[in-house]
Chains A and B, each alone.
Chain A
């Protein structure tokens, strides 16, 4: 299957060019990335990895009567040297590929093919159909149905634990630009029987809200309910307040009840405590001094049955020369006790400092960037005090659409004494149309 996928993507990339010449609104995004990595782990054979990966995206708009469009995205990999992952030299994924028909009114559309669905509490990928539309009096409706897109089999199982069919939708009501209430749900057909794990069905319902009584205040979030375990799975809510034009204050609350929220996370079913819930409460403030200077500070408190932790920090973003030079500085500190420390490391603390600095320059001809990231642990992990990485990238635009670039990174961390990585990236992003286009 992976070989077929890999060959299909390579072939499709060749088709993209003549197609681009024939149609009116076509966009091609192609990236070919050659990575270089050398692995030398004591007790294991030295490996040289040279995976070549092709990412391809194709969007064809204004087909037929102008409202029909085609969208495709996927990737394929071939290992030019040792196998980079698992036991196969090839890999690939057909991420999405669907036909969409948009009506000119009511934000109505119908999509058919492999697609992602994001509606209220629902986040799924299906091979099927999705329809949605606004309705009179402020109501809205969406529905989807089809076959689940399966992933790799779970360890020692013959499936990924997901049912074959997946159906659901959302209804919503909007009042002016002030309020939106939604109810959504999904029903997955019976999960396959597993050999070493508990078989569980994925079925959720939930409600979501967006409330803005004044343009400077926004409250939004959702609550989901697991109909299989008959319990609330998740509460997640966000409050945004804009007391000044460029000042945004944010508060957030999240609560997850493990048995209900993680019910279908088969991989971790044995590690879950059915009675446990995790909660986080936080806030942030950001201010845009000018188009060139922005600062943000944030704080979050995490609560679990076995302990609590805090994270706080700040970020600064700067841009110059009409945004062609962009840079940032960040510092965060996680205060977390022994309860969160890495198992078996014997550390009395999981606390760490995070520092990051980057800068990039993007011109019509060349582009370059540097990025340095350092995690400083309060207590050593595997005898290492830091996990740091420095990366530099340099590229050149042959044309506005065609560019070649290379990245090189060096780092030291508790996993590898030294980690050296490099890649060469060839990108071709072309839009054949007259409008603004999409990113």
Chain B
């Protein structure tokens, strides 16, 4: 620990030099556009590869990886954790925050009751089901209700 404290200033200085060097070269690194140039059809399972199959550049992941297959929709958390800048080309932050937020007023499936095609959690009488699902896979509860969005949980779970 003492050794780390002694070399910390040197490491910090080295890091700063590296960052400044990197910043000087940043202009040459390509960036994603702020938004998608064409409007996408609501309700369609987007297939990115339809238009972008051979346009992979630099360190960009293949666009087909982001095609909205059932697996992608179900497991989108894996993509969002490292590529949310790509998500934000087509989706506003509010699209995510309909479900992933700190405090919801009503179930997303009620807010969007006119869109049954959208994958929304806790449809129907989840009040009964959560007593089973919570035992089955508590981690799935914790992800959304562990450290936020738990105002209604607190009412009963003391």
**Bound CA span A399–B119, Å:** 26
A-B CB contact pairs (8 Å), 18 listed: A57-B92, A73-B93, A125-B148, A151-B147, A151-B149, A162-B147, A180-B82, A238-B78, A265-B146, A268-B157, A291-B44, A294-B45, A302-B136, A340-B135, A350-B136, A367-B114, A415-B125, A439-B92
Question: 0/1 per residue, B100-117, Cβ < 8 Å to A?
Answer: 111101100011011111
Interface of A (DSSP majority class): strand
Contact A77 B132 (CB under 8 A): no
Task: Please tell me if B5 contacts chain A, counting CB pairs below 8 Å.
Answer: no
Contact B93 A248 (CB under 8 A): no
- Interfacial residues of chain B within 112-158, with CB under 8 A of chain A in the complex: 113-117, 123-125, 127-129, 131-132, 135-139, 142-143, 146-155, 157-158
Contact A381 B93 (CB under 8 A): no
Task: Please tell me if B6 contacts chain A, counting CB pairs below 8 Å.
Answer: no
**Bound CA span A267–B35, Å:** 40
Residue of A nearest to B146 (CB): A265
Contact A350 B132 (CB under 8 A): yes
CB contacts (< 8 Å) of A82 on chain B: these are none
Query: In which size bucket is the chain A interface?
Result: 35 or more
Give 8 closest A-B pairs by Cβ, nearest first: A174-B59, A358-B116, A413-B125, A106-B29, A387-B125, A407-B113, A155-B158, A371-B116
Residue of B nearest to A261 (CB): B139
Contact B105 A75 (CB under 8 A): yes
- Please tell me which one of the listed residues A116, A356, A405 contacts residue B93 in the complex, with CB atoms under 8 A apart: A116
**Bound CA span A208–B114, Å:** 37
Interface size (B, Cβ < 8 Å)? Answer: 92
Task: Please tell me if B9 contacts chain A, counting CB pairs below 8 Å.
Answer: no
Decide yes or no: A393 and B113 within 8 Å by CB, A29-B94, A151-B151 being known contacts: yes
Contact A256 B95 (CB under 8 A): no
CB contacts (< 8 Å) of B150 on chain A: these are 151-152, 267
**Bound CA span A55–B154, Å:** 24
Contact A105 B36 (CB under 8 A): no
Contact B70 A284 (CB under 8 A): yes
Question: 0/1 per residue, A119-163, Cβ < 8 Å to B?
Answer: 111010100000011111011010000000101101110000010
**How close is B13's CB to chain A, nearest CB, in angstroms?**
17
Task: Please tell me if A227 contacts chain B, counting CB pairs below 8 Å.
Answer: no
- Please tell me which one of the listed residues A105, A242, A265, A438 contacts residue B27 in the complex, with CB atoms under 8 A apart: A105
Residue of A nearest to B151 (CB): A152
What 19 additional pairs, Cβ within 8 angstroms, besides A69-B34, A323-B41, A375-B124?
A120-B81, A134-B26, A151-B150, A154-B154, A176-B59, A215-B62, A240-B65, A254-B139, A265-B146, A267-B154, A267-B157, A268-B138, A319-B44, A358-B117, A369-B115, A389-B123, A391-B113, A425-B114, A436-B40
Residue of A nearest to B37 (CB): A436
Task: Please tell me if A226 contacts chain B, counting CB pairs below 8 Å.
Answer: no
**Bound CA span A104–B26, Å:** 10
**Bound CA span A280–B41, Å:** 35
- Please tell me which one of the listed residues A69, A360, A437 contacts residue B117 in the complex, with CB atoms under 8 A apart: A360
CB contacts (< 8 Å) of A319 on chain B: these are 43-44
Task: Please tell me if A175 contacts chain B, counting CB pairs below 8 Å.
Answer: yes
**Bound CA span A222–B150, Å:** 25
